[in-house]
């Protein structure tokens, strides 16, 4: 089988021929149809992600496909079932072994590309806005990086939860994508006065930030009293320093959110969230935006679209 692997940290990944793995106890072998790319894949290539799998590392945090075989102790009725899984790595390959408790059965109406684009992006935003920030109907949600993989789902989910959504993204084309996802107000992140524009719209009650850097600083200064800032990541490369005295004066809460971390200590938070999200998808309330779907042979090009921020929503790699 083929696998897109990092052999040496800092060196470009490449497609290698590998043996098809055999599932161990409690695992299934999935014939992978599609893999969703994430910013974390770029960090893993450089050894900068919070989790550091052993080398050689097959990239790809989330996958979708069909169960082809099962390991000892696993019900053979799973063979032939269509599933998605958050694996943390291994998705950019023809086959992968996945623990059964990480496999989520797909709704009949969901194709593999949508499924591969779904778990991390929608799961991150739903747990962030519902479980962590307790976003309420009528509140104002500010989404930074609003046309990106997780940002766009935050716009969608925020609207589903009854919020007024301010989308902040770079350039008219990306803002148009955010508007199509339901954003009520649009701010170009290249503007000279992001803070002023947020304030003019009444400030923000909840801020969803996968970007960091100067945008975090501008948004922080435009918070309403008792605002909640959800720290998702630092796509800008700049980890902001937070003045604690300002938190105190305005009663602001800053909330760290690492979606995958829940797998280790409260997996039910993720499974309950995904159950609700798949129901929303089946009801037509969510529509994954995939700007590019490229074959495995073009995985390097797909990752470059992420690195240069030329994609919107999700980039998916297909195996066939």
Q: pLDDT by residue (tens digit) across 274-312? A: 999 999 999 999 999 999 999 999 999 999 999 999 999
Split at pLDDT 50, 70, 90, the class of 89 is very high
Q: Which of 165, 118, 137, 90 is nearest to 270 (CA)?
A: 118
Longest dimension (CA), the chain: 61
Please give the Cα distance from 38 to 171 (Å, whole number): 21
Core vs surface per residue 8-38: b (16+ CB within 10 A) or e? eeeeebeeeeeeebebeeebbbbbbbbbbbb
Q: What is the pLDDT of residue 227?
A: 98
As a dihedral over the C-alpha atoms of residue 201, residue 167, residue 276, residue 137, rounded to 10 degrees, the angle is 0
CATH code given to domain 2-118+288-318? 3.90.180.10
Q: What percent of the chain has pLDDT over 90?
A: 93
Helix (H, G, I), strand (E, B) or coil at 204: strand
Please give the Cα distance from 164 to 133 (Å, whole number): 15
Question: Is the confidence at residue 36, as pLDDT, over 90?
Answer: yes
Q: What is the pLDDT of residue 50?
A: 82
CB 186: neighbour CB atoms within 10 A? Answer: 18
Helix (H, G, I), strand (E, B) or coil at 302: helix
CA Rg, the chain, in Å?
20
Question: What average pLDDT score do residues 167-189 get?
Answer: 97
Split at pLDDT 50, 70, 90, the class of 51 is confident
Which pLDDT tens digit goes with each residue over 223-255?
999 999 999 999 998 999 999 998 999 999 999
DSSP bridge partners of 31: 66, 95
101 torsion bin: left (phi>0), alpha (psi -120 to 50), beta (else): alpha
Split at pLDDT 50, 70, 90, the class of 52 is confident
- CB 318 within 8 Å of CB 294: yes
Q: Which of 286, 315, 285 is nearest to 301 (CA)?
A: 315
Please give the Cα distance from 144 to 168 (Å, whole number): 5
- CB 68 within 8 Å of CB 95: yes
- CB 38 within 8 Å of CB 76: no
Superfamily of domain 122-259: NAD(P)-binding Rossmann-like Domain (3.40.50.720)
Q: Which of 192, 191, 240, 187 is nearest to 212 (CA)?
A: 240
Q: What is the overall mean pLDDT for the chain?
A: 96
What are the residue ranges spanned by the domains of the chain? 2-118+288-318, 122-259
């Amino acid at each position: 089988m083929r696998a897109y692997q990092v052999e040496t940290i800092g060196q470009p990944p490449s497609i290698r021929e590998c043996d098809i793995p055999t599932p161990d106890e409690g695992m299934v072998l999935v014939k992978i149809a599609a893999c969703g790319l994430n910013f974390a894949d770029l960090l893993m290539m450089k050894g900068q992600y919070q989790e550091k799998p052993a080398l050689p590392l097959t990239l790809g945090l989330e996958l979708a496909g069909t169960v082809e075989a099962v390991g000892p102790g696993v019900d053979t009725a799973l063979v032939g079932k269509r599933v998605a899984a958050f694996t943390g790595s291994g998705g950019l390959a023809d086959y992968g072994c996945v623990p059964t408790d990480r496999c989520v059965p797909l709704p009949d109406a969901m194709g593999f590309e949508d499924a591969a684009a779904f778990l991390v992006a929608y799961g991150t935003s739903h747990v962030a806005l519902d479980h962590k920030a307790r976003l309420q109907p009528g509140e104002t949600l500010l989404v930074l990086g609003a046309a990106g993989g997780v940002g766009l789902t935050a716009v969608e989910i925020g609207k589903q939860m009854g919020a007024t959504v301010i989308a902040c993204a770079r350039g008219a084309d990306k803002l148009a994508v955010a508007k199509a996802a339901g954003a009520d107000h649009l701010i170009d992140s290249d503007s000279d006065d992001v803070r002023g524009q947020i304030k003019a719209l009444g400030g923000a009650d909840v801020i969803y930030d996968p970007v960091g850097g100067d945008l975090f600083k501008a948004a922080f200064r435009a918070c309403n009293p008792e605002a909640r800032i959800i720290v998702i990541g630092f796509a800008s490369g700049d980890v902001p320093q937070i003045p604690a005295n300002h938190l105190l004066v305005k009663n602001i809460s800053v909330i760290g959110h690492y979606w995958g971390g829940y797998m280790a200590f409260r997996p039910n938070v993720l499974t309950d969230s995904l159950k609700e999200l798949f129901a929303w998808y089946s009801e037509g309330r969510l529509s994954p935006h995939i700007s590019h779907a490229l074959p495995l042979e073009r995985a390097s090009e797909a990752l470059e679209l992420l690195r240069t921020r030329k994609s919107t929503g999700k980039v998916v790699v297909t195996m066939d």
